[in-house]
Amino acid sequence: MSMHRVLTTLGCALTAVVATAWSAALPSQPVRPAATTVRTTEPAATTVRTHDGPVRGATHDGYRTFEGIPYAAPPVGRLRWTPPRHPAPWSGVRDATRPAGACPQPAGEVPGGSTDEDCLHLNVTTPDGAGPARPRPVIVWLHGGGFTTGAGSSYDAHRLATRGDVVVVTVNYRLGALGFLAHRGLPGSGTFGLADQQAALRWVRAEIGAFGGDAHNVTLAGESAGGYSVCAQLASPAAAGLFDRAIIQSGPCTGRSDRPFAPSSVPLSTARAAGADLATKVGCGSTREVMACLRRVHVSRLLAHQGIDQQPSYATPLLPGDPAAAIAAGRFPRVPVLLGNNHDEGNGWAAGIVQAGHPVTPDTWPGVVASFFPAPGRTKAIVREYPVHRTDGGPVFGAVIGDANFACPTARTEDLLASQVPVWRYEFADEHAPPLTPGTPPFPPGAPHASELPYLFDLGGRPRHLTAAQHRLANTMIDYWARFARTADPNGPSSPHWPRQTVLSLAPDHIVPTRTTRARHHCAFWNALG
């Protein structure tokens, strides 16, 4: 296999792996969110009535959780690859004390993977004191995982809910080929996962008041593929009016399919070609009723043959244009935005590729660059801009991945948005952030992709070890995120001031505005390179 193919395939695979790299610590079964103190008894029950029927959740120290609530009908049988439909009401009280199954996906964040198509569920975490008489702002969280892996239940949101005094909703949505298959004549082609997210937002508008959330103050937030999903919903006419603010973490709206690390969208024609290829691989390509055949194929076979890369499709009814073009043209709702990226986004991928047996040296560096940026003339320019010396190949490769895929596209996204809506931008820069993968990396990872997540959530219900200074940073971040959700401005008396259109560097030893980030990330070079 050629170096080009090896590195490109490995890079695409690591896109999903790095986004959920902390999954190795997850137990084999979902767990309840961890309480803030050790418990010797089961949490008490609490019941809330929804329009579809009552749900019984659990009370914890300072918050309540309601897990596995269906927001759409199971997309199974004839409903596979159809837009989400309203769930059937239930009689009696539905148990909501444990998460439901994750959407179908290969092994990774979910140990052993999942083949459970009955997965369109969400989870609600609400602080004590929230109720219909005293509603709290709502944050709806869309998980990352390269549009291929992930689950809402992996994100224990009790710290965000209790310190931030907000209601948090985490969402499952269809992934991989089941979420983004496109085929000629199939309504909803390439956007079923995005349609699920909209169905969840409609559920929030209709139901969250019963849980103590303010249905008129909803912030849509996400990281990586979840962050890009927020971009897609900003660009989707069908999502207009479903949320009031947006938080985009490491999922810039100007992501491109020719850069294989950051999430992006593809034209419908490209997605249809991938769909036809999948149909052929599973034995349905030559049948008269291709979709009927595909709906009979077992989930495990679809997962085995789907592409490593998955992206939503544009030039579709739900997503008429590429989100970058839509935002550049001003075709999006005028909602305030908080967005940012991590200082060393690319280091996780670079470390993984080096550990997989592909060292980055002065001799191999031109070939590595050509594998990821194959357009003529780019290799020499990138090698000149980012020279590799004898011992620094891995970090240089990480800088190229981070700058090209995240830092500079995030700066471009800010530029496009800031001319039309209030924008606050951050750079997460804790170079000693808790590691997300086991083992010893070949070089210090710094603040790589997804490393900010343990500061907002207990991933898999298990908090990462944070130093006292890191705890303070986590609290500051939660304060910023929650105030933004509450008032559309992250600033408050207890945190350093965050000026609009100024990058705020987030690190335990310095939470300060900085205007040097763009120059440091070589964005002028990448803009000129195209």
Q: Could you give the residue numbers annotated as active site?
A: 224, 345, 449
Cβ atoms within 10 Å, residue 28: 8
Are the C-beta atoms of 265 and 194 separated by less than 8 Å?
no
Pairwise CA distance, residues 120 & 192, whole Å: 12
Cβ atoms within 10 Å, residue 73: 16
C-alpha torsion sign, points 491, 495, 497, 498: negative
Q: What are phi and psi of 513, to 5 degrees?
A: -65, 145
Are the C-beta atoms of 133 and 298 separated by less than 8 Å?
no
- Angle of helix 225-235 versus helix 192-207 axis, rounded to 10: 80
DSSP SS3 for 394: helix
The pair of structure tokens assigned to 36 is 């803030």
Are the C-beta atoms of 431 and 467 separated by less than 8 Å?
no
C-alpha torsion sign, points 113, 200, 43, 55: negative
Are the C-beta atoms of 430 and 347 separated by less than 8 Å?
no
Helices and strands of the chain, counted as H and E runs: 17, 17
C-alpha torsion sign, points 84, 85, 91, 93: positive
Dihedral, 263, 265, 266, 272 alpha carbons, nearest 10: 100
Q: State the DSSP string of 116-132.
A: -----EEEEEEETT-BT
DSSP SS3 for 337: strand
Query: What proportions of the chain, in percent to the nearest 5, are helix, strand and coil?
Result: 35, 15, 45
Helices (H), 242-322: 268-281, 290-296, 299-305
- Angle of helix 393-402 versus helix 365-372 axis, rounded to 10: 20
